[in-house]
Structure 1
């Protein structure tokens, strides 16, 4: 049976309805396509592959990528005690597709001229994540059974006892020099691009001692290394036999919590998405298991609170730089 022709006015109405309907169906997809993140994110880790910082950041990125629905690719930019990576991060386009770890040492290096920015105002802070367990380790065949013995040797042989650290002006270097000042001794500091390289030289017998976060932990447990002291406010759960510097009479505590950040000028909605993702990542079992394995106490702060924390550390570093004469140490290398 032949259908009657459609009135042109009705045809126009139907066509309009079809367009509107298609637009309604496509709207959610268009919104999804423009929603952040729409492509993989680069995460700059300012330390070498395999170190404790690298391990913790990769665990965080693994969880955060699942929250955000996009892969997060870790890119290691080691050197200058973490400042090469930080400089790269700070100068990146503030669109949320380049983020990274911000070492707390930015508060020190910005004042020493190694980082040409003010970390209090020229970075976006997303989350403080965890601290570190620092310690002084020696080989099992070292003549030093205790830190007291190492100090006695250093006093009798000024500048002879060597120790490796992860970079001039970084937490391991400054913490060890702060301890040396408190103990009244002078060590021979050997700088590396990261703790992993320093650890290998200790194991190989090229240096006498290692000052580092817990890269030494598995070797202490296996008996290849001996832990003389840790630097926290209390003894770590896994290494109850090792005294803290404070217990030994030295008023030195170093935990150096680090966090996640981005370039300045991040769009508010992107900042919120990243803060939420890394808050969930820090709270995840995946990250907490890694943090426990590398003896990194979880010390979470949301972005704005982390920014305030950096500002308070900045003021403390101003005093420490003068007390340790760090500018001269940095020039000496």
Structure 2
């Protein structure tokens, strides 16, 4: 009886094992391997998550790209604005989405700055796959029209004659304009009082009224006011001149290597299959190199980039390290 009992247990175990293998085999048949996913992609709408409100520079570029990709890929491409928490809400939405190429992140250079200022919920270097850098735009050092200097050399001389007399606006501690001015102060040995605001709008308004003297602004935001004579351009913070601001010198012509370019780029969840990332990069760079799109970007103060995923990944890491060093050396803390 013991023998029969053992035989029964063995028979039952064998049947159970077979059932388990059939179940696993059936399950594997329903899993789409990355190669197959890449071949079928895209077959439904693609979402561009923008972690800022509609109407700004990040939103403008993302919408233009989405409309062009919609034609190129033959599927709907939608922009989903997820503002708040210094961009963290938008990053959350993408990191927590399936890594299938249907949810992308269109972010700006603050993505590599914020982790140095506050505890981050996500490690952007480890949890996002860089696709391409889309555009770059210089911050431009601007002053109220009454400020007694019109170029970098005279600006430095005026500020040095009266340490602490002048003040500059930024849209928050650790923002791009704040870091750009702190970098200039460090290089040129200047003492200028920082007045941070919660948002770009209030900071710009105080500068326009003359209650504050100067600021670094994005070229995108400053151009209308420069053209209207409400702001005076002093110098560009990036390495390259801007077609939108002819005759305005770069700070790098006087301070070698000075570069505070802001930039935008596209990311996907880290586990997105490499073939999908490559196809996204291919279609995005094709859209970016369109002559009409390039000219429109230039008119807004942007340079069109269109880098490869590998080059963009290297660039993102170098930017992360550069701004981390600036923040540590200048002792910058969040508001």
**TM-score bracket for this pair, using the shorter chain length:** 0.7 to 0.9
- Structure 1 residue aligned with 2:270: 264
Q: How many angstroms apart in 2 are the aligned matches of 1:227 and 1:110?
A: 31
Q: Show the 5 A alignment for 1:169-180.
A: 169-180=174-185
Over the aligned positions, Cα root-mean-square deviation in angstroms equals 3.0
Q: How many angstroms apart in 1 are the aligned matches of 2:163 and 2:93?
A: 39
SS at match of 1:105: helix
The CA deviation string for residues 257-311 of structure 1, in whole angstroms up to 9 with x for no partner, is: 3210122222345434322321222122342122111121122212222112222
The CA deviation string for residues 212-257 of structure 1, in whole angstroms up to 9 with x for no partner, is: 2111112212322210111122332332332222334475222233
**8 A contact 1:80–1:168 mirrored in 2:** no
Q: What TM-score results when the alignment is normalised by the length of structure 2?
A: 0.76
TM-superposed CA distance for 1:50, in Å, is: 2.7
Q: How many angstroms apart in 2 are the aligned matches of 1:261 and 1:111?
A: 20
Partner residue of 2:69 out of 51, 58, 64? 64
**Which sits farther off after the overlay, 80-89 or 133-142?**
80-89
Q: Show the 5 A alignment for 1:114-263.
A: 114-148=119-153, 150-151=155-156, 154-155=159-160, 158-159=163-164, 161-192=166-197, 195-214=200-219, 215-249=221-255, 252-263=258-269
The CA deviation string for residues 22-55 of structure 1, in whole angstroms up to 9 with x for no partner, is: xxxxxxxxx9xx9433443322223343333332
- Assess, with a 3 A threshold, how the Cα gap between structure 1 residues 191 and 68 changes in structure 2: closer, same or farther: farther
- Structure 1 residue aligned with 2:6: none
Aligned residues: 298
SS at match of 1:37: coil
Partner residue of 2:51 out of 24, 28, 46? 46
**8 A contact 2:239–2:257 mirrored in 1:** no
Q: How many angstroms apart in 1 are the aligned matches of 2:73 and 2:201?
A: 31
Structure 2 unaligned blocks of 5 or more: 1-35
Q: How many angstroms apart in 2 are the aligned matches of 1:185 and 1:112?
A: 23
The CA deviation string for residues 151-175 of structure 1, in whole angstroms up to 9 with x for no partner, is: 4554465555332334432322211
SS at match of 2:113: helix
**8 A contact 1:107–1:310 mirrored in 2:** yes
Partner residue of 2:106 out of 85, 101, 115? 101
**8 A contact 1:119–1:310 mirrored in 2:** no
- Assess, with a 3 A threshold, how the Cα gap between structure 1 residues 124 and 94 changes in structure 2: closer, same or farther: same
- Assess, with a 3 A threshold, how the Cα gap between structure 1 residues 99 and 169 changes in structure 2: closer, same or farther: same
Q: What TM-score results when the alignment is normalised by the length of structure 1?
A: 0.77
**8 A contact 1:81–1:194 mirrored in 2:** no
Q: How many angstroms apart in 1 are the aligned matches of 2:202 and 2:69?
A: 29
SS at match of 2:306: strand
Structure 1 unaligned blocks of 5 or more: 1-30
